[in-house]
Structure 1
C-alpha cells in the first residue's frame, strides 16, 4: 500500500542494473523459440545470441542452482535480483557434454568470476540453438524491467535495468 502511494506521488523505487553474463547480441525474450521463455512465464528479461564461450557472474552473488547438465545457473545478486542464465535451448539433452562448470550451489561469487564455460561450435554442430535467455525470476517484485535489445554487449556491460 505504502509503495503504491509513493508511486502515485511520483516517487520511484530502487533501480538495479544487471550487467551481462555473456558477450553477444541482445534480442527480445519474445523472439526466443521456446514458449517457456518467450511467454515470460519464468520471468522477464532478454536473450543473448552468444559470441563467446563463457558465463560470468554479472554481480557479486550467491549461486542458488546449477543444473546437472551444466547448461544453466541461477543466482541471487547482492542487489536482490534472482537471475537465471540458460545457455541454449534444449541443451539439457546434451547431458553435460560441451559444458564445464566452475561454481557450485551455495558459492558466493564475485562479479566477473567464470561460472560456466561452453563450446559454442560443438553445441551448434549437434544442432542446438545457442540463444541464451537471461531472466529475472523475481520480476513480479519490479514495476519496470528494460533490456538493451538490439545492442551487442560484452561481458559485464549493461544488459538491463529493473526498477521497484
Structure 2
C-alpha cells in the first residue's frame, strides 16, 4: 500500500490548456501529421502558452514555437494551413528564445484577414516532441474550447527531470 502511494505522489502529471480558442479537430483531418498531439481550428488571432516553461525554439517561418515545461515536457505549438503555405510576415512573435513564460502568456499573433485570402482551413497543432518521456496521454473529445480548457493531460514516465 505504501508503494502505490509513493508512485502516485511521485508521478508527474502535466495539464496543457488550449493555446487558442477554437474547435478541436482530429489530427487526421488536418492533412498533416500531428502525432502526439491535437489540432484546433482557431476562432481568434492570438496564440497563448499551454503551459509554464521556457521558449526553446522559434521557427524561421515564425509559425511555430517550442517550449520546455517545468516538468521536462517538450511542446511545439504550430500554425498551419491545409491549402497553402503561410508566410512569416503573417505572424507577430511576442516572445524570444530563452524567455520564461507562464500559462496563458501570449506567444504570437496573426491576422485572419491576411491568412483568409490564402487559406480556408487554418489550424493550430500542439504536439509533444519527447513522447519517449510520456507514460500516457489523455485528450478530451473533439469540441469547441476556450483558453482555460484543458486539451491534454500527460503522465510523465518516472525518472525524468522536473
Does TM-score exceed 0.5, indicating one fold?
yes
Aligned in 2, Cα 1:86/1:92: closer, same or farther, shift over 3 Å? farther
**Which residue number corresponds to residue 25 of structure 2?**
27
2:90 corresponds in structure 1 to 98
**Structure 2 CA distance for aligned equivalents of residues 55 and 72 of structure 1:** 10
Q: What are the within-5 Å matches in structure 2 for residues 115-126 of structure 1?
A: 115-126=107-118
Report Cα offsets for 1:72-102 as digits up to 9, x if no partner. 1001111322111111237994331221111
How far 1:121 moved relative to its partner? 3.1
The separation in 1 between residues aligned to 2:121 and 2:129, in whole angstroms, is 22
Q: Does 1:162 align with 2:154?
A: yes
Offset of residue 105 of structure 1: 0.7
Structure number having the greater strand percentage: 2
TM-score, normalisation: structure 2 = 0.82
Partners of 1:26 and 1:111 in 2: how far apart?
19
Give the one of 41, 65, 73 matched to 2:65. 73
SS of 1:160's equivalent in the other structure is strand
Q: State the number of aligned residues.
A: 150
* Cα distance in 2 between the residues matched to 1:120 and 1:91: 15
> Structure 1 residues 102 and 20, CA, compared in 2 at 3 Å: closer, same or farther?
same
Offset at residue 128 of structure 1 (A): 5.5
What is the TM-score when the length of structure 1 is the normalising length?
0.81
Aligned to 2:81: 89
The runs of 5 or more residues in structure 1 that have no matched partner are 1-5
Segments of 5+ residues of structure 2 without an aligned counterpart are 157-162
Equivalence for 1:15? 13
- Residue 27 of structure 1 contacts residue 149 of structure 1 at CA under 8 Å; is this kept in 2? no
Write the deviation string for residues 101-120 of structure 1: whole angstroms up to 9, x where unpaired: 11111111122211100112
